[in-house]
Structure 1
Amino acid sequence: MLRRVLTAAACLSLVAGCSLSGGGGSTPAEGDHVVTLVTHDSFTAKQETLDAFKASSGITIKQVASGDAGALTNKLVLTKSNPIGDVAFGVDSTFASRALTEGVFAEYASPEATKGAQRYQVDGSNKLHAVDVGDVCLNVDIAGLAAKGVPEPTSYADLVDPKYKDLLVVEDPATSSPGLAFLLGTIGEYGPTSWTEYWTKLKANGVKVVSGWEEAYNQDFSGSAGKGPRPIVVSYASSPSAEIGEDGTPRTKAVLGTCYRQVEYAGVLTGAKNPEDAKKVLDFLLSEQFQADVPEQMYVYPSREGVKLPEAWTKAAPLPTSPRTLPADQVSANREQWVSQWRTLVVG
């Protein structure tokens, strides 16, 4: 995904764990308060923000990255009787119901959640708090479509029109988070029975399927640095903010009528060795100071209300107002079946 490409160098020893706060990654001194934050691979944060948190709280945050959102959720479930950390960040709306059903997270109502995170509450509990929002949408190469004499699509339905034949590249939902989100968006649009008809038409119209976002966006999409052959790609509503020309004009555009909302959550782990400090770290992730860094550090939208977006986002990547969503329990119950059906239908 876009943010993974932009932040991959933020911490080179993710699997082993790295100190994110204080001393530029130095080993915590004896007696320090250390909180282990388990995350997906795309988490990163500004060092000065983390240093300020340590200075005010006395807490050192040690990050342990555990794959993508699905892999992270699986690891948290498998280790719930002996948790691998104190706080976890990165379980998204696709996997949240599973984590809650398995009892991975402890109840804690952060006072910071009332500033916006409560809008994305999964259920009536306070076990998960929304940290960020990322909408998966079609992105178009404005000049690329114009050169072909093809209008910009505005909906899912446009993509099955013959004028868009061989112009779209998508990611495999079995191996890609945005690919899965796009599939869920089509299910939200056409319903749990008719979505297969839509994908049958997409296949007949020459949709290309690749394993992940990096290949789709950086190799096949004509609007990226790779200058591929296809002017329509599944990416993020925030992606156009990274594609602004020297004249200040966005080169790409998100098709806001095709967005599916992903929310990423954090929570205190059940059985955390340091639960009181873990609560303070969760409060920090929801704080105005941390939330202000979220767009440029992780290329997603902050969950907190009133956080000012970077100028490039205001111009090219406004938060979609009417994205599609599906209930978390519905996704959890049907995800594997839907992906299996999709693979049989589209890949064969």
Structure 2
Amino acid sequence: SLLMWGNDSENIDNMVFGPFEQQYGVDVEIVRLNTDANGIVSRLVAEAENPRADVVIGIDNILILQDQARQVLEPFTPSNLDLVNTTLVELLDEEHYIVPFDFGIVTLIYSTDAMNVTTHPQLANLTFEDLAEPSMASTLVTENPHLSSPGLAFFLSEIAVYHGILDDDWREWWCSVRDYIDVQEGWSEAWAKWDSDPTRNMMVSYGTDPAYSAHYTGTAPDTAVALFSYNAESYAWLQIEGIGLVKNGPNPDLAKKFIEYCLTEAVQSHIALNQWMFPANLNVELPDVFDYAVHPDEVSPLNALLPATLIKSNLTSWLQEYDLIMTA
């Protein structure tokens, strides 16, 4: 039996693993934790002395910077890694503790039933300064950066803009909005709030959400993306989610074959309409509904304004300062 930890977002159908099970005579057990990617790392750390998992999916390009994430993973270079965009591989982890599984942008979405560029012109070229206005901040729901990967991506997006573009103190923005924004525990909780509260019309989410909306309604999407705009350039945070080999897992050889299988079109072709992310495999053809999605190639990545070394050395203190601001 092969055991894989995953997160609680929509995942590819278990049926896609049938051919792998038949080929190797095993049962693939998928365990989807009711947590965000941070919780997955915590689970692996807790089981480090006696790992139950063989493979992990969902650790992203921020979490892999943490020492504890690397301590529970084993570097592995799949023989078919050439199926994956080379740039993604380099941006995620050059040592291959994890390799790309899917990718997309973390940005702001809004309900077009409640707001649009006519009622809120700033949406067309949104800045963090615009978002700090009480009338805008009071519409926003985001996620806890301690507990949520999109919440952490948004937190770092704000620091990236203030550090790399505005050359200003990032703390001031959070001081301005703390009494107006709604911070939920994770993405699922934020989505529930955004979907049910008529006053919360903006949310930190993904650039594929309009495609999701169009797919399930069968009409033009009722969700739109608001990208951050500075100096006539559009920005968003690039999230790359990886798949990796658990250190000292019970079935290492089988796990390596499974990782290679997950990079093939047999699995990758199901990512778009199930994970609602872009597949890492270069050969996968996207469904038509993804014409509504914002592809990462259409924006400048905010990650480039905040080097990984800077994040690794400062993230703990940044989050501590965030806590002081939000609880003041």
Please tell me the TM-score bracket, short chain as reference: 0.7 to 0.9
Quote the residue 1:202 is aligned against: 177
1:22-101 superposed matches below 5 A: 34-42=1-9, 44-66=11-33, 67-98=35-66
8 Å CA contact 2:143–2:187 kept in 1: the answer is yes
8 Å CA contact 1:131–1:266 kept in 2: the answer is yes
CA distances 1:135-158 after superposition (whole Å, capped 9, x unpaired): 211112234224982225233332
Distance 1:227 1:165 in 2: 14
Paired residues in the alignment total 310
Quote the residue 1:305 is aligned against: 282
8 Å CA contact 2:55–2:259 kept in 1: the answer is yes
Displacement of 1:264: 1.4
1:290 and 2:270 equivalent? no
Q: Identify the match of residue 191 of structure 2 among 217, 227, 234.
A: 217
Quote the residue 2:114 is aligned against: 144
8 Å CA contact 2:101–2:280 kept in 1: the answer is yes
Structure 1 residue runs of 5 or longer lacking an equivalent are 1-33
**Percent identity over the alignment?**
25
8 Å CA contact 2:212–2:276 kept in 1: the answer is no
1:341 and 2:312 equivalent? no
Q: Which is bigger in relative contact order (C-alpha 8 A, separation at least 6)?
A: 2
8 Å CA contact 1:140–1:152 kept in 2: the answer is no
Alignment-mate amino acid for residue 175 of structure 2: T
Q: Identify the match of residue 248 of structure 1 among 199, 202, 219.
A: 219
Distance 1:254 1:171 in 2: 17
Alignment-mate amino acid for residue 213 of structure 1: W
Alignment-mate amino acid for residue 164 of structure 1: M
8 Å CA contact 1:138–1:234 kept in 2: the answer is yes
1:264 and 2:241 equivalent? yes
Distance 1:168 1:147 in 2: 16
8 Å CA contact 1:38–1:84 kept in 2: the answer is no
1:160 and 2:132 equivalent? yes
Helix, strand or coil: the match of 1:56?
Answer: helix
Distance 1:203 1:286, change over 3 A: same
Alignment-mate amino acid for residue 323 of structure 1: P
1:185 and 2:160 equivalent? no
Quote the residue 2:232 is aligned against: none
Distance 1:248 1:272, change over 3 A: same
Helix, strand or coil: the match of 1:111?
Answer: coil
Quote the residue 1:112 is aligned against: 80
8 Å CA contact 1:174–1:180 kept in 2: the answer is yes
Alignment-mate amino acid for residue 116 of structure 1: V
Distance 1:340 1:150, change over 3 A: same
Q: Identify the match of residue 300 of structure 2 among 316, 322, 340.
A: 322
TM-score, structure 1 normalization:
0.78
Distance 2:186 2:72 in 1: 28
